[in-house]
Amino acid sequence: MNLDSSVNEIIVMETVPIRFGPGAVEEIGYELQRRRLLHVALVTDPHLRRIGLVDRMETSIRETGVTVEVFDQVRAEPTDRSVEAALEWQQGRAIEGYVAFGGGSSIDTAKAMNLYGTYPAPLLEYVNKPVGNGRPVPGPLKPLVAVPTTAGTGSESTSVLILDMVDLHLKTGVSHPYIRPSVGIVDPLLTFTMPPVVTASCGLDVLCHALESYVSLSYDARPRPASPAERPPYIGANPIADLFSVRAVALTGAFLRRAYFNPYDREARTQMMLAATLAGFGFGNAGVHIPHAMGYPVAGMVRDFRAAGYPDVSRPQVPHGMSCIVNAPAAFRYTLPAQPERHAHAARLLGADDIPTALIRLMQDLDMPNGLQALGYTEDDIPALTVGAMKQQRLLVNAPRPVTETDMRRIFQDAMRYW
C-alpha cells in the first residue's frame, strides 16, 4: 500500500432510503408500520393546513391504525423562537416518531423536535460553531419520515437543519449524520399547489445545490481527517455526488420554467421533484458554499422585503432559494477560475456559455429580484452582509477558491444588480 496519509482520498456517501413517484405518499402507512410506530407527531405548517393537504395526510395516517398528534405551527424559515415553541408543544407527549410534512421548514422543525426531544439541551448546544457550541449529537434519534411538499431543499435526505437566529440576524444550523430522516417519501403530486413564487424560489435552490456541489473544492484536495468521526458531513465534489449534481442541473434547466408557468404539468413537476431529490443526495455529501453562505445574512438581515405571491407575507422575509440565487451569478463569476471545465460543463447543461448568463436568464424568466438592491439592500449594507457571510466558515471551506473578507465584499458588490 502506498497511502499519502496527509490527503483525504476517501469518499463517504451517506443518504436516506427514498420512496419516489406520483402516489408515493399513499404508502406512508407501510413505512410507519414497518417501524412499529403506533403514535406519531405530524409536523407541518398553517398554510398547508389551510389548503387541505394536512387533513388528507392526517386521515391516511389514521387509516393505518396509527394515532397522530398534529403540530401545524411551523414557521416558514424556522427561527430559534419558532423551534422553542415546537419544543414546548411536544413536552409531556409520548411521541414515538415524527412525520414531517411540508417544505424544508417543516422537515427542519421536525428534525429539531426529534433532536432536542431525544437529547434535551439548550438550543445553542448542538448549533454549529462559532454561533453555537457545536456539540456532536450524542446518539441515534427517533424515526422520522420526511414527506416534502416542495421541489426544493432535499432536506428529506440531508444531515442538517437550518435555523434563523433572530437576535443575531443570521441563519445557521445543526449538522450531524444522526439528523438524517429515516426515510423520504417523495411524491411530486404534492407540489402541484405550490404558488409560482415558491416553485421558482425552491427550484432555484435546487439549482444552487447542484451547481455549488459540482464546483466545490474536490474531496481529495483536503487534508485527511485524524479519524473518521472528524470527517465533516460536507466532503466536497466527488465522483459519486457528481452523478447526482450533474443530472439535477440538467433536469432543472429543462423543467423549472415549465413547472413555473404550468403548475399542473405533471411531467415538469415530477422531473423537478426528482431534481430536488438528486440535488439533495449530491449536496448532502459534497456540500454548498459561497451562494448559500451569502444567502444566510441576506435572509437574516431582511428589512421590508415581502415576496409577491408568497403564502405568508405577514412579515418581511426573503425565501431561502431567492436569498441564494441573488448571489449566485456573482459567486460563480468568482469561482470560475478555480474550476473552469466544471463551470463550462454546467453552463452547457443549462444551454449557455457561462453559468452567470444562464442564471440571469432564468432569474428574469422566473420574475426573481434583480440582485440585492431589489431586496432593499444598499452598498452601505455590504460590510454587515460580509460579516454575516464570513461566519459561515463551515460552508466557505468548501469553496473551490479561498474567500477573504475583501473578496466577499467584492462579490456582494457584484451581486447588487444584474440587468
- Cα 278 from chain centroid? 12
**Minimum CB distance to ligand NAD, residue 162 (Å):** 4
Site for ligand NAD in 281-320 (CB under 6 A): 311-312, 320
What are the residues whose beta carbons fall under 8 Å from the beta carbon of 51, sequence distance 6 or more? 193
Instruction: Look at residues 403, 388, 393 and name the one whose alpha carbon lies nearest to residue 330.
Output: 403
Residue with Cβ nearer ligand NAD (198 or 336): 198
Q: Are the C-beta atoms of 99 and 147 separated by less than 8 Å?
A: yes
Stretch that binds ligand NAD, among 70-78, 125-133, 247-255, 266-274 (CB under 6 A): 70-78
Supply the minimum distance, in Å, between the C-beta of residue 202 and ligand NAD: 5
Show the CA angle centred on residue 319, arms to residues 318 and 321, nearest 5°. Answer: 120
Collapse the DSSP code of 372 into the 3-class scheme (helix H, G, I; strand E, B; otherwise coil) and give the result: helix
The answer to the question of residue 72 lying near ligand NAD (CB under 6 A) is no
31 binds ligand NAD, rule: CB under 6 A:
no
Judged by beta carbon, residue 311 or residue 329, the one nearer ligand NAD is: 311
Shorter beta-carbon distance to ligand NAD: residue 40 or 160: 160
Tell me the closest approach of the beta carbon of residue 45 to ligand NAD, in angstroms. 4
Residue 176 contacts ligand NAD per CB under 6 A: no
Residue 247 interacts with ligand NAD (CB under 6 A)?
Answer: no
Q: Which stretch binds ligand NAD (CB under 6 A): 102-110, 129-137, 267-275, 326-334?
A: 102-110
**Contact present, 110 and 155 (Cβ < 8 Å):** no
* Residues within window 183-202 making contact with ligand NAD, judged by CB under 6 A: 190-191, 193-194, 198, 202
Q: What is the DSSP string of 121-184?
A: --GGGTSPTTTS--PPP-S----EEEEE-SSS--GGG-SEEEEEEGGGTEEEEEE-GGGS-SEE
- Burial of 348 per CB tally in 10 Å (0-12, 13-18, 19+): middle
Only one of the segments 96-104, 127-135, 138-146, 240-248 lies at the binding site for ligand NAD (rule: CB under 6 A); that segment is 96-104
By CB under 6 A, is residue 325 in contact with ligand NAD? no
- Shortest distance, CB of residue 92 to ligand NAD, whole angstroms? 27
Decide whether 112 or 408 has the Cβ nearer to ligand NAD. Answer: 112
Contact with ligand NAD (CB under 6 A) among 77, 212, 242, 381: 77
399-402 contacts, C-beta under 8 A, 24 or more apart: 399/216, 399/217, 399/289, 399/290, 399/335, 399/338, 400/215, 400/216, 400/217, 400/218, 400/289, 400/335, 400/338, 400/339, 401/334, 401/335, 401/337, 401/338
Q: Map the footprint of ligand NAD across residues 147-166, applying CB under 6 A.
A: 149-150, 152-155, 158, 160-162
- Shortest Cβ distance from residue 171 to ligand NAD (Å)? 6
